[in-house]
Structure 1
Amino acid sequence: MSEIKPVFLPERNRFALVDCDKRIGAAHYRDYEGADGVERVFFHTTVDEEYGGQGLASVLVKFALENTIAAGAKIVPVCPYVKAYVAKHKDYDEHLAQPTPAHLEILPRA
């Protein structure tokens, strides 16, 4: 029986979904020191294909966003999935910061 749960891995700059000890998804971010404090730039979200269609990406992103807010950081949605999620969940509006060129500069190059 699998037990899928989200975890925070700050040393890896990501939130992850784990099934027992196996990582099955991740929401990658970089923290940016903005004028008003930390802004967490979410740039890539994945869930392993075999776990698709179960709503796990939304579980992961909700966990990541709630953790970010609790830490007092703003959410900067760059990842298409995170952008779509916050567009559907208006309760995050007050915690958003729009992406700027400075935010994009800190992201890893593909």
Structure 2
Amino acid sequence: MHDVTIRHNPEWQRFEVLTGGNVIGKAVYKEYDGGGSPQRIFYHTVINEEYGGQGFAGKLAKVALDETVGEGSTTIVLACPYIKKYVRKHPEYAAATVAVRSAHLEFLNAALSARA
């Protein structure tokens, strides 16, 4: 297998898993400021099926959460079921998270609808 890289791609608002220069997975987010402070709403994490079961989703979640926490002022919104599950298993991230609220979901719905 090729070398695996995980990188932040802020232009596309996602963290990516790459191998051989190809994106094989991503954790997608939207930046949100409706709560008075910057928040990053993670709403979808996926690894291409042929790469499943190799631990890439966990590595991706760790990098995404570490970098977001490392920014210092950005709170993580747990809208993505995978990221939410990961945080439950790794409680060191809990202090930097908030539960998803209806305002987050309304924002996501509007943002994603506008993109289509």
State the TM-score bracket (shorter-chain normalisation).
over 0.9
CA distance in 2, matches of 1:4, 1:105: 35
Question: How many Å apart are 1:98 and its aligned residue?
Answer: 1.3
Task: Identify the residue that residue 68 of structure 1 maps to in structure 2.
Answer: 68
Q: What is the one-letter code of the residue matched to 1:84?
A: K
SS of residue paired to 2:29: strand
CA distance in 1, matches of 2:9, 2:62: 15
Task: Identify the residue that residue 43 of structure 1 maps to in structure 2.
Answer: 43
The alignment's C-alpha RMSD in Å is 1.3
Extract structure 1 runs of 4+ deviating beyond 2 A.
none
Task: Identify the residue that residue 78 of structure 1 maps to in structure 2.
Answer: 79
Larger % of helix: which?
2
CA distance in 1, matches of 2:90, 2:65: 11
User: Which blocks of at least 5 consecutive residues in structure 1 are unaligned?
Assistant: none
SS of residue paired to 1:54: coil
Task: Identify the residue that residue 104 of structure 1 maps to in structure 2.
Answer: 105
Aligned length, in residue pairs: 109
Question: How many Å apart are 1:101 and its aligned residue?
Answer: 1.3
Question: How many Å apart are 1:20 and its aligned residue?
Answer: 2.1
Normalising by structure 2, report the TM-score. 0.89
Question: How many Å apart are 1:94 and its aligned residue?
Answer: 0.7
Q: What is the one-letter code of the residue matched to 2:95?
A: E
Normalising by structure 1, report the TM-score. 0.93
